Chains A and B, each alone.
Chain A
Amino acid sequence: MKKILALVLAVAMLLSVAAAGAETVTTLPRNKTLYHGGWQYGSIAAWNPLHSNSNNSMAISANPRGSRTLVWETAYMYNALDGKLYGLLAEDGYEWNEDMTQLTFGVKAAAKWNDGTAVTADDVVATWEAWKKLDGYNGTYAGYAPYIANIEAADGKVVISLVTNDEGKPVNPLLVYDYLSGTYILQKAWLDSMFEKHGGDAKAVAEDTCSEKDVPYSGPYTFYFDNDQLTVLVRDDNYWGQDESMWGKLPVAKYQAHTIYSGNDASLVAFKEGQIDVNQQFVSNIQDLWEKDGLAISTYMDEAPYGVCATMPTAWFNMEVPVLQVKEVRKAIAMAVDYDTIIANAMTNQSPSFADVPRSVMNPTDGEQALLDHDAIQPYQWDATDDLDTRIEKAKALLDEAGIVDTDGDGYREYNGEKVSLKSCCPNGWTDWQAAMEVVAAAGEKIGLDITTNYPEWDIYQTVFTAASQTEYDIFMWSPAGAAPSSPWARVRGLMSSEYIGLNSNWSGNFGHWSNERADEIIAAIPLAATEEEQKALYTEATILYLDEVPSFSLMYRPESFYAVNETVWTNFVSQDLNAELAAEGKPQIPPLDLIDGYGIAGQYYIELVE
């Protein structure tokens, strides 16, 4: 028996090793490796930063709310905490011309590609030209073309000219910031060689996986190893950023690694065991990890909500359903929802309550909250002062006034003689959202509206709710834009702009297809507001409109990325404490974006070994 067992094990091992392939590199030294978790769930398919749809989470993730600049770098880094842009490849600060139709910035003199050549304004221009050629295979150009007319190099500086309207004013200067912090700058020589290699075929360029993994980069890390279990980036010790004009040193960890786990549960076990240092994963009752399990795990803040929330998962009303076109019905439902239960249950209190941060179109960060006249909107914030029972009574009264009453005595109200029956939906398996939708359904019960939950599979859900016409779901969930250089404007646009109505594959906003002329005017006016006062007035008006009309309503606040660290190997991670120290030294605070996104990457330069 023993022999058989031994034989079997031996065969199994041989097979496994053979299956895994015979690379000849050994274990990563633990005290030189920073392990990330919660980003990569399958092996990487492409190392091409131009790829139309790469799943390469560690290296390629460019977007305005915080691009991942470990390998390729952006011109600016967005800091979600203070809402400012910090120069990376670009020199700090940029200049607008008088009528805000041209933005000029310089490229850092020290900035170099890994082959030693300098990063120049020509590279920035060439990258924009590349996006233009790739239009149709990639949304970048189509997304920015309505706002950016041209990017050119002049006197070694980059000049971005904006699209202007009939009055000679820019259409939207805010989105230029998004472009600068949300797209990589790539080497001109490499771009030229790519198009040459594929004979100018844009589709082939967009789909080239660059399996040689040798695309020139400017960032501190580069490819080291990847398979279906692990991705590793290794530090480039010649990184230009050790120049005093940038970080002044190299990032601390020699390797950045991400183990690929089959799912959240496996990833959580690994995090608890200290195999993941920085974890981007929602952990319910995260305080149990230290209170009950006594683990060396910490979050950005010691107390609930533990992190910085930047977005608001929202319930949208389908405006194509007749009964939901009645404002009072929308408002009554929103008023009767037990938000505390949602926050306690779905978010396990990892969100501020609506009593702490009253609802508006803003996320809970100080920067955005400062853009509102809080006294003016207070009367419209239905759950800032009233408790649930009062709200339910008010909601019932609202429905009674609107003439939506129960006439046949079945306990449910009728609209035009028919029982009001609504379906509230979110994707199946999105546990926190499902819990929220259950609470919304329960709210319906309390005010005499029949609301049932329905959890379609993700691929059906995403097809239906992004379609050009809303057919099936009455109340459904999605999140508006989080933090980005263009927010909160981008969020207001996503919540209320009618430009999304009738759009196929609409992933951007106004999924319920609500339309309001004044809202559109406000959205057009905000980016051009001359003074901060004017801007504040517009945001306040937008919030009042939003809270009064209730085209949708926020259910909770939620971080853009979750963030928790295990201090078994590394310590001095980004935290409120660290930021307090930085603030004392007059340095910018670092957003808790897992040490890799936007200005969050600055955290890489502060970590220390525990031992």
Chain B
Amino acid sequence: MSKGYRKYFKKKIFWFIITFIVAVMLNFFLPRMMPGDPVNAILSKTLGNTTDAAAIQKQYEVYQQAFGLDKSLPEQFLIFCKNAIRGDFGLSFSQYPRSVSDIISSSIGWTLALQIPAIIVGWILGNVLGAVAAYRRKIWDKVVMPVSLFFSAVPAFGAAVVLLVIFGITLKWAPVNGAYDPGMIPNFSWEFISSVIRHYQLPFFSIVLISIGGQAVGMRSMSIYELNADYVKYSRFLGIKDKKIVRYVFRNAMLPQVTGLAMSIGSSVGGALVAETIFSYPGLGSTMYKAITASDYPLISATTLIITVMVLIASFLLDIIYAFIDPRVKAAQFD
């Protein structure tokens, strides 16, 4: 590995760590600035018809202790960090006595399985469409371009709701909620797997649909820019075959799109999470939605932190890949 690369990675890792620390702090402190007393809500279920003030107080303190709320905020933060390293995010308010880690571990798999393929497929399809639109400008462009623009304008939940109503409720082509048929107990059988696939379709396509548009528009502009570059004109002048030129052009146009992917993971996560809640897919998005509606801040902190960390890792990995496929990055380090 050359010196340039090492310097590049060191710098990246440094930023990665700093950003991570800031993210953890934001995730911890922001939700806790919200007023309201979660312990009180839990008491509603356990008090029965007690009218004895001392008995109420005693129970109150028990729960306060269970959530660690009897300590100061900075102290709580240190405890949070210490425990978070061990994967312990404390207890959930809304689903008490479940632990936050337990809730998250049961939902994160679904989210990864849904989001990553959907975002990648959306990205690939979008880029292919964009490139084709740029290359065959006439009819393709006239159709693909406005359609892509329109789809990039449809809000994520809108696409999800429309798909749900049309394909799920009206046509009944695909089930509209959950990750597999109700009454099924997860197992390695074809029956179960096919049920998972059937439930996978709608949320998957709704995420793909909305991510295609933006990518296609971006790729089209990039490709047109490259197609008009001097080197293309020169190559044409030299009589190099069109096919070969096109390959170079699209390779070059792809590069910024890779960074685009890294960046768009962060921004597309929001829309994709909303799609999860609409199809009640049992992933992080639904969990986060439940946490927000129940003001369950240990759970909110943890879900947002996990999403942040996933995005951080994704963009870090893409940065590294990028460095290898685009030699200009190395050069840029000496800029």
Contacts and interface: CB of A to CB of B under 8 A. Distances in A.
Interface of A: 1, 4-5, 8-9, 11-13, 15-28, 30, 33, 35, 41-43, 45-46, 51-55, 63, 135-140, 142-146, 175, 178, 203, 207, 209, 225, 227-230, 232, 257, 259, 261-263, 265-266, 269-270, 275, 429, 457-460, 462-463, 466, 490, 499-500, 503-505, 507-508
A544 B125 CA distance: 72
11 contacts: A13-B113, A13-B200, A27-B192, A28-B183, A142-B52, A228-B282, A229-B180, A458-B293, A462-B40, A504-B57, A507-B44
Contact of A207 (B41, B58, B97, B180): B97
A457 B297 CA distance: 13
Contact of A35 (B96, B106, B183): B183
Given A45-B98, A203-B62, A457-B36, A19 B109 contact: yes
A33 B183 CA distance: 9
B218 to A, nearest CB: 20
Nearest to A64: B49
A340 B271 CA distance: 40
Nearest to A502: B53
A13 B36 contact: no
B101 to A, nearest CB: 13
Nearest to B204: A12
Contacts of B277: 262-263
B334 interface: no
Describe B's contact surface by its main secondary structure: helix
Given A26-B191, A135-B55, A262-B282, A142 B50 contact: yes
B48 interface: yes
Given A26-B191, A136-B55, A19 B37 contact: no
Interface of B: 34-38, 40-53, 55-60, 62, 66, 94-98, 103, 106-110, 112-114, 117, 120-121, 124, 128, 168-169, 176-189, 191-193, 196-197, 200, 204, 277, 279-282, 286, 289-290, 293-295
Contacts of A490: 49
Given A13-B196, A26-B187, A466-B40, 11 more contacts: A1-B128, A8-B120, A17-B192, A19-B106, A22-B186, A24-B187, A45-B97, A136-B62, A262-B281, A266-B178, A507-B43
Contacts of A20: 109, 179-180, 186
Given A269-B176, A459-B36, A460-B35, A142 B117 contact: no
A188 B269 CA distance: 52
Contact of A458 (B96, B182, B295): B295
A39 B289 CA distance: 18
A18 B109 contact: yes
A27 B176 contact: no
A8 B197 CA distance: 12
Contact of A53 (B46, B52, B282): B46
A140 B48 contact: yes
Contacts of A458: 41, 293-295
Contacts of A203: 62
Nearest to B65: A203
A459 B114 CA distance: 32
